[in-house]
Amino acid sequence: MTPGADHPHPRRWPIALGLAGCVALYWVVRLWLISSPALSQVDYDEAVTGLMALDILQGKHQIVFWGQPYMGTLEAYLAALLFKLFGPSTLMLRLSLLVYGTAGVLALYTLGRTAGGRRLGLLAACLWSLPPLFLSFQGVYVTGGHLEAVVAGALLLAGACRLAFDPPRRFGLWALGLGVVGGLGLWSSLLILPLVAASLLGLCLARPSWLLGRGPWLAGLGLLLGAAPLLVWNAEHQWLTLVQVGGSQLSRAWSNAGILIGNVWTPMLTGAWWDGRSVASEMPSFLPVAALILVYLPALGLAVAALVKWVRRAWRRQNPWQSPADLVALALWVLLFLHASSGHGHKAILRYATPLMVPLTVLVALWLGKVNHWRPLAGAGLVVGLLVFNLYTHHLYLERFAGAPNRPVEAVLEVLEAKGVDFGYAHGRVALPLTFESRGRVMAADFFGARNLSHLRRVDAADQPAWVTHKRLAVPAPAMMATALRRLGVWKKPLEVEQYVVWYDFDPAPLLSPMLSQTWRSESLQGQAAAVLDRNLDTAWRAGPGRPGQLRLDLGAARPVARLSLLPSLAWRGKSGMLYNLTVEGSLDGKTWHTLAGGQGCMAGLTWRGKRVKLDPVPALEFTFPAQTVRWLRLQITPGNPSWPPLEIAELFLYQPATGPSQWPHDAEQHFLLGRQALAAWESRPTAPFPAGHAAFARFWASQVNWPKVVRHLNQASCEAPEWERPYRLLLEAARKSNKPASGLRGAAPCQPGKS
């Protein structure tokens, strides 16, 4: 009997007891981690899983992760079951991931047992139960499906080893079952693809005859069955999941590997838990070095030694891959290569390295098993030392966040509910946790509807939604928001609760009516000043990059002015949320000037209508101020952020006090409504991939809309009512959604305003 091999008739109960102990250790370690205040409430990605689970409970079935079609909803469905049984909570959401993670312990035991026997399987399961901090964190951070995919990949690799070297009697059933596991993993996350590639390659190399039987057909059938939800969704969405597979950097694999060694592969083993965040600096410097030198580098050495053996066997005309350990080593090399040559190879993103932990954990167990065979005391010392080191990194993580507030979201939710605030705008990083942690009692939506456009539509329909910002996340920073509200003309003192800053119950915007522009005259020392009055979004006045600019406007007579709105051109590259320095001045004689509005920190896209302040997708600049009688207006622009495009103005609209809402020609109203209805097809699938995520996503959304119809109706509305700003704004919004060149959207022959 070879050293380290199992006894031919082992007693099963010690193995079962040891495996149960590994599962218990897995749960204890993760529950200990969950006790950290930093994990007491959900993050924004986790909130998506929770909100999907809540929708599932309402009968709204989900197929892919909101906004990200490369992850599925297995987590969300298990979370929905736990919510149904025990009520929705952050704890139940995290426990759903622990259930899937438990399967990982069993998968690593199976893979380790296949590669080196039951004792080595138990050691691999133990190392998976108390792993590097990074892997434990992935086991409690509920982000959609990465962990399930890696667990499914581990089962695939174990199954490939079994089929290659110890084929079971029910060979076809095994192939079918492994295909289903692979399909479910593929639906869960594309992170399984490297493990699928490694398993398939290893099986084909070790047992080429497998390709000639029915195994590939049954495995393929199982794969189709397991991935059926993903395939059905993709058939209806132009196969958008496939775009995530692209982005190969094969030519840069070697240089990417250097980046990954220093920024991903080494940190993930020595105390990192998220991108750029690690506890390694808080421990004696020799500890991570010792772990690398004594454990991980020798484990990698086993993979290098396997390479040498494969070459020797090939030289002797033997099959290079003769044992499951060979397939584990091959899987590590395949995963390292694919990670370095993928589109993420140059990005220091730890979670994309999770599949590496499957073969690496088994190789570490193999190394420790060899040391234990050579020197039992040294082997036991290395095992204990590695587990203690991993335990220490977990302790440092908990210690780092020990003083953090526990569930600070509850304080702000209590205040919002006491103030009667049910709806609000916020960045998705703030909005999604608020919505989930309130169980939907407070509906907060991302400014532009990221993740779920239907949330934004519900907030848009509310009478007076609040604005919620966060001091630490700073999206935008509360101080920046306060300045922008002042520039808009609507600032008021906010509520401050923990890290949250909330503006609510805004004053109603004054009733205003547009002023006729036929008698105005514009002038400037640079640029085409007349472009701001021609009611053509293709022409624009532009401030010079990096230097001050000035635009003057003669109204022809003294008039009361209460709002100024500046629209960019169709082709402008600026975005909502960018800040510009612009001062609006007024004069009666063109010589003596006084400031009406503006200054530094004017936020593009910020609007005020009724009791609603909203960040509009159109990055226009708007200023509302107490009515002032002026004949001359002067816009003073000073340079701002040099990385942002210089300010430009395609159209300028002025407003005066009114006694009631403006009335527009019936034909203009009808064309505007028809144009808006046609554009609404862009929003027909509220949880489809958000277009900002990938160019292919934007093309999909654009393909849903009849753009000639949108342009035709909005052009006609602007011609029927040239001083009505809304058709121009909606045309600008359409231009940004269309994924078309601006020249192709405007229309071949726009009418001449005033001649319709």
Q: What is the pLDDT of residues 616-670, one digit of tens each?
A: 999 999 999 999 999 999 999 998 888 999 999 999 999 999 988 888 999 999 9
Distance, in Å, from the CA atom of 644 to the CA atom of 660, rounded to the nearest integer, reads: 39
In degrees, rounded to 5, the angle at the alpha carbon of residue 709 between the alpha carbons of residues 703 and 710 is 80
pLDDT value, residue 97: 93
pLDDT value, residue 315: 92
CATH topology (fold) of 512-657: Jelly Rolls (2.60.120)
- Residue 502 burial (C-beta neighbours within 10 Å; 0-12, 13-18, 19+): buried
pLDDT value, residue 755: 40
Distance, in Å, from the CA atom of 189 to the CA atom of 146, rounded to the nearest integer, reads: 5
Global pTM? 0.92
Report residue 693 CA to chain centroid gap: 8
How many CB atoms are closer than 10 A to CB 376? 10
Distance, in Å, from the CA atom of 156 to the CA atom of 328, rounded to the nearest integer, reads: 12
Give me the residue label for tokens 């809309």: 705
- Which two tokens mark 567? 């629209």
Residue 56 neighbours by CB under 8 Å, 6+ apart: 62, 73, 76, 77, 80
**Ordered alpha helix ranges (H), 58-145:** 74-86, 90-116, 118-129, 133-138
How many CB atoms are closer than 10 A to CB 411? 14
pLDDT value, residue 440: 87
DSSP string, 397-450: HHHHTTTSPS-THHHHHHHHHHTT--EEEE-HHHHHHHHHHTTTSSEEEETT--
- Which two tokens mark 737? 């959604």
Q: Where are the domains of the chain?
A: 12-400, 409-503, 512-657, 666-745
pLDDT value, residue 220: 94
pLDDT value, residue 529: 85
Distance, in Å, from the CA atom of 230 to the CA atom of 605, rounded to the nearest integer, reads: 36
CB-based contact 279:400 (threshold 8 Å): yes
In degrees, rounded to 5, the angle at the alpha carbon of residue 393 between the alpha carbons of residues 387 and 394 is 90
Strand order in the sheet with 466-470: 443-446, 423-426, 466-470, 500-503, 495-497
Pseudo-torsion of CA 292, 294, 298, 300, nearest 10°?
-20
pLDDT value, residue 1: 39
Element (H, E) at 551: strand 549-567
pLDDT value, residue 518: 87
Q: What are phi and psi of 57, to 5 degrees?
A: -60, -25
Residue 167 neighbours by CB under 8 Å, 6+ apart: none
pLDDT value, residue 2: 42
pLDDT value, residue 547: 82
Give me the residue label for tokens 């293709």: 538
Distance, in Å, from the CA atom of 232 to the CA atom of 244, rounded to the nearest integer, reads: 17
Distance, in Å, from the CA atom of 531 to the CA atom of 549, rounded to the nearest integer, reads: 15
DSSP reduced 3-state for 687? coil
DSSP reduced 3-state for 248? coil
Which parts of the chain register pLDDT below 50? 1-4, 747-749, 753-756
- Which two tokens mark 297? 């580098």
Strand locations in 639-721, DSSP E? 648-649, 651-657
- Residue 446 burial (C-beta neighbours within 10 Å; 0-12, 13-18, 19+): buried
- Amino acid identity, residue 754? G
- Amino acid identity, residue 401? F
